Amino acid sequence: MRDGIASLVLAALTGAPLAAQAPAGTVDIRLGGQRAELALTRHFEYAAVSVDELASLWGMTTRRGAFARAELAGDELVFEAGSPFFRLGEATYQLANAPYEWGGAFWIPEEFVRGWLAPSDVVALGEPSEPVEITSLASRVDPDLPWHVIIDPGHGGRDPGTLGRQSQEKDVVLAIGRRLYEELQGRAGIVPHLTRDEDVYIKHDVRSQFAVDRRGDLFVSIHANAATDRRAVGFETIFLGPARSEEAREVALRENRAATDSDAAGPVGDLAFILTGLDRTENLSESRRFGGFVQNAIRTVRSGRSPDRGVKQGPWWVLLGALARMPSVIVEVGFLSNQTEEAYLNSSEGQRAIAVAIADAVVEYRADVLQRFAASGARR
């Protein structure tokens, strides 16, 4: 280990490149109708591609010590050496590893090349349907009809979400989403659906349309949190609404950055939310109510290990489309930026406990809806 560190320090001082390990393989890309095979090199613990290899296909330019720039789908793409964040147009995305300069060249991590330049992993979940009319709770009160519950593991594919020390949000929430799906399959009166069952990127509006097309009765999007203060811990449930705190606004803006121009003109702001008129729908108040069931259920399995951060509201784009038809929430299952909580969220025990808790909340909320309408004499 010391020899490796010494080699890195010597290379940095002398400008001499560190001898690459055995070739890290190749990656296929497609740019401007051209396909090419690029060599991968490994200077550090992750494989990368030299910008020089892309230049003939892409026209990428660099400014030493700072940026590599290019055009992708009509937008300017900007990297900074040493930073895991890159900008595409007005949106900002995060990589697990950072671009870097080495041996007089600029290097981009393999994950970007595979996620953005390789044959697309963006999944279309069917043609858009006609706009659906806003529905009310009355459409979900027949005890003989099952509820269709849409499970939406956030991020995926080229969008890793927030990053922990050992894991990425997209993988953690997919694992929990799969367990939740399996758990709900065994619950009476519930038919679960997954927006994604693999590591693929699905645009926000397509996720919402998926829920509407399947005539969903409940939309549950699963995410993991992060904070600059690594002591931050806890779980929370979020429904659509104007952010009531700066923290809620920052979390929503971070998550909304994954939306591309085809999803929206920009992050969902308070004004855009108000203009939708959805703040007056019954589904909004029911989203808040369901959030309480989720918090109570997770608290039973996380008591003493992680605090209940409550039910909050925020301008999350992924909730906007689904809310017209069904109660919709985001469940932030914990903080990947906290080492202890990250370990729990990556464990089989933790993932199963959270999935069972959310499943319990779904069943209890459905029973609550049926009971309220039975008591009031309401019928479909």
For 91-142, how does the pLDDT look when each residue is reduced to its tens digit (9 = 90+)?
A: 777 677 788 888 878 888 887 877 777 655 455 554 444 444 545 566 678 8
Question: Higher-confidence residue: 157 or 359?
Answer: 359
**Fold adopted by 137-376:** Aminopeptidase (3.40.630)
Query: What gap in Å lies between CA 165 and CA 337, rounded to an integer?
Result: 7
Residues facing residue 105 across a β-bridge: 102
Q: Please provide the DSSP assignment of 24-62 as one string.
A: --EEEEEETTEEEEEE-B-SSSS-EEEHHHHHHHH--EE
Residue written as token pair 């401007």: 32
Q: What's the pTM? A: 0.66
Apex 35 CA angle, 33 and 39, nearest 5 = 145
Q: Is the pLDDT of residue 25 over 60?
A: yes
Instruction: Tell me the pLDDT tens digit for each residue of 353-372.
Output: 999 999 999 999 999 999 98
Question: Higher-confidence residue: 361 or 316?
Answer: 361
Domain ranges of the chain: 2-117, 137-376
Apex 129 CA angle, 125 and 135, nearest 5 = 110
- The number of helices, as runs of H, and strands, as runs of E, in the chain is 11, 16
**Of the candidates 130, 140, 177, which has an alpha carbon nearest to the alpha carbon of residue 155?**
177
Q: Is the pLDDT of residue 236 over 80?
A: yes
Instruction: Tell me the pLDDT tens digit for each residue of 79-88.
Output: 888 877 777 7
Query: What gap in Å lies between CA 332 and CA 207, rounded to an integer?
Result: 18
What is the reported pLDDT for 191?
Answer: 95
CB 41 within 8 A of CB 50: yes
Query: What gap in Å lies between CA 206 and CA 123, rounded to an integer?
Result: 9
Tokens encoding 228: 């600059």
Exposed (0-12), middle (13-18) or buried (19+): which is 323, by Cβ within 10 Å? Answer: buried
Residue written as token pair 């920052």: 250
Percent helix, percent strand, percent coil in the chain, to nearest 5: 40, 25, 35
What is the reported pLDDT for 333?
Answer: 97
CB 244 within 8 A of CB 282: no
Q: Is the pLDDT of residue 52 over 70?
A: yes
**Of the candidates 236, 219, 218, which has an alpha carbon nearest to the alpha carbon of residue 227?**
236
What is the reported pLDDT for 62?
Answer: 57
Q: Is the pLDDT of residue 267 over 60?
A: no
**Of the candidates 190, 200, 222, 111, which has an alpha carbon nearest to the alpha carbon of residue 369?**
190
Strands 235-240 and 328-335: antiparallel
Give the whole-number percent of the chain exceeding pLDDT 70. 67
Residues in the chain: 380
Residue written as token pair 């349309």: 209
Is 14 strand, coil or helix?
helix
Report which listed range, 161-170, 187-196, 241-250, 264-273, is most confident: 187-196
Tokens encoding 50: 């030299």
